[in-house]
A and B are shown apart, each in its own frame.
Chain A
Amino acid sequence: MDSWIHPALFFFIGSLLIPFVKGKTRTFLILLIPVLSIMDVAVMREGVYGSFNFLGTTIVVGRVDKLSLIFAWVFTIMAFLGALYALHVKEDGHHAAGNFYIGSSLGAIFAGDYLTLFIFWEIMAFSSVFLVWYRKDKKSIDAGYRYLLVHVFGGLCFFTGMMLYAYKTGNLVFDRIGQSGAGVPEYLILAGFALNAAVIPLHAWLPDAYPEATVEGAVLMCAFTTKTAVYVLARGFPGFEVLAILGTAMTVYGVFYAVIENDMRRVLAYHIISQVGYMVAGVGIGTELALNGACAHAFAHILYKALLFMGAGAVLYMTGTAKLSKLGGLYKYMPLTMIFYVVGAISISGFPFFSGFVSKSMIVASAHEQGRLILLSLMNLAGIGTFLSVGLKVTYFAFFGKEAPIQAKEPPKNMLWAMGLTSALCFIIGIYPDALYMLLPFPVEYRPYTLMHISEMLQILSFTGLVFFLLVKKLAPEDKMNLDMDYFYRYGGRAFMWVDVHVISVIDSYWGELYRVLGLKVLFKNADISYGFDRRIIDGVVDGSALGVRGIGGVVKKLQTGKIQAYMGFAVLFLVLIVWFIIRGM
């Protein structure tokens, strides 16, 4: 079969159609988009599609192999669950931003060259930021701008690396890079990828922005950005030692913050850093088992992390807060939400019969196999912290603990269905891991259910539980926020403003004074001459051009309505125009 439809197309076209339909048709369309894309992935054959020459380099839009397919599977499944969870959202722009975000991440994983990857990479950043902005309060708008600036910085690292790489090798083919031959270009690309994977110290954007996103947007964001980055790292940089070390450091760093954090969704955001750390470490270890583990863990992680964000989002949606210090006793009002959340929590912790157990352990086992006991014990330490914070702390203080004066109900049906389905998937992967293992890029010999492994995990988790209940008073959530690396760029920004106000503007005003005294006389004289020239000659030649410019200005003024929807609409229109010009030019 030679024909191949890029699954991103369903999302791009679909999101443009959503504003034009209403009621049941709209619901149907929102769910149909991911269903079509899942079917598309199901019939897809391995191969190279959509390859053409552009300005002397080969562009590959569709590289389909086992590595890109497993990510396509989980991305499209997640797209369906996310759409179901967000069905009640009325803003068309929210759905459109989500679909553009998902579509572009699919574009990124099928890209066979750096240029295509870069374009989708940037669309991802610029569409996902709307999922933060749609929360529409000042904190979210600020966090969104920081998110965007950091990603633009990462994109620039990637872009510079890409250009230097093209200069060095003469092509833009995106394939495995060996650690020994890697120089500045490769490491710049690596830095751009690492920023999206929230590798420390480039991680602060994640716990800064995700907890400020909309309830439904956060569910999508936690799945796609970091996992697209894991994919490109697994594709380009397996076996890089720096990734093994930083990845393991991430696992512990994330849980450390999760233990002390108060906001439910921020706890979960720090756990993304921790869990992606396992994947990055797996890529860094670079053996077949480790890479399989990284992919399997990405798959499992997307589902249970989305489930956790759905649960926390449901609490935020129904009670208006996600702060643990203000919650408590919710099991009475939201028992189903609690059960689904707990399924996510024991999946992420790696309890036997749930998905984390069969995926995370592959990476831990690969560290064991390579005799890297420090990595192994740090990963297991992070496992303790995972259960401690996501499993015990959040569950205890939000759903049990001291009863807070909050009355809540279960969330809308579509949210419950999305959580229920995701829970079922976490359980199915746990009891039937072969369903996941057969999608992995390398053949799997690893068996998760050995007595040793079950005993190891149960000991770690159960005794974590014991210590938790002994020290539970110490863990009481506090109404505080915790400093992180964003301190530096937030204060960096302020330092820049200070320089601007106190240095540049002072120089500017002196300069202005000098100009006023000395320059003005000369200028007047000059102006006289050029006025005459302008009036007699230029106006004669290009009569009416000034009026034309004023007219365009009027149109632009109308475009700037200050509404997010309108901006997005124009941005999309503009994008379509650019694409049309490129195609016409070819």
Chain B
Amino acid sequence: MNILKCIELLRSNIKALKNALIAYLIVLVIFDVLIHLGVHGHYFVDNIPAFWTMFGIVGCFLLIKVGKGIAHQFLSKDEDFYG
């Protein structure tokens, strides 16, 4: 099946895929810096170039760390906890 072949192809070229994705991320940040030139929004979130890049990185990191941290501290129980 075609879909399968595509996925297998991507999986066998994982290194190239990685590089392409990193290039995409860099382009994304440059693009955001460019569209911020000469634009003045109401609030600080509108005026800092690449603000949402930083927000994405920090937010995702916090969600994983805090989420798993709290889970391991006291939220996670065995499957048959309630019997």
Contacts and interface: CB of A to CB of B under 8 A. Distances in A.
Co-complex (A, B): yes
Interface of A: 255-256, 259-260, 331-332, 335-336, 339, 368, 371, 373, 376-377, 380-381, 384-385, 388, 451-452, 455-456, 458-468, 471, 474-475, 478-483, 490
B20 interface: no
Nearest to A464: B60
A447 to B, nearest CB: 16
B7 interface: yes
A467 B61 contact: yes
A260 B71 contact: yes
Contacts of A336: 3
A348 B63 CA distance: 18
Interface string B42-83: 110110001011011101110111111011001111110110
11 contacts: A331-B7, A381-B63, A451-B35, A452-B39, A459-B53, A459-B55, A462-B25, A467-B60, A471-B64, A480-B77, A482-B75
Given A462-B28, A464-B56, 5 more contacts: A384-B56, A455-B52, A471-B61, A471-B64, A483-B74
Given A260-B67, A462-B28, A478 B76 contact: yes
A259 B67 contact: yes
A463 B53 contact: yes
Nearest to A476: B68
A459 B59 contact: no
A479 B61 contact: no
Interface of B: 1, 3-4, 7, 21, 24-25, 28-29, 31-32, 35, 39, 42-43, 45-46, 50, 52-53, 55-57, 59-61, 63-68, 70-71, 74-79, 81-82
B77 A380 contact: no
B43 A380 contact: no
Contacts of A388: 60, 63-64
Nearest 6 A-B pairs (CB), nearest first?
A463-B56, A467-B60, A459-B52, A260-B71, A480-B76, A259-B67
A462 B56 contact: yes
B65 to A, nearest CB: 8
A275 B70 CA distance: 22
A256 B57 contact: no
B79 A480 contact: yes
Contacts of A451: 35
Nearest to A387: B60
Contact of B52 (A380, A466, A467, A475): A380
A456 B56 CA distance: 10
A498 B68 CA distance: 34
Contacts of A384: 55-56, 59-60, 63
Contacts of B56: 384, 459-464, 467
B4 A455 contact: no
A466 B25 contact: yes
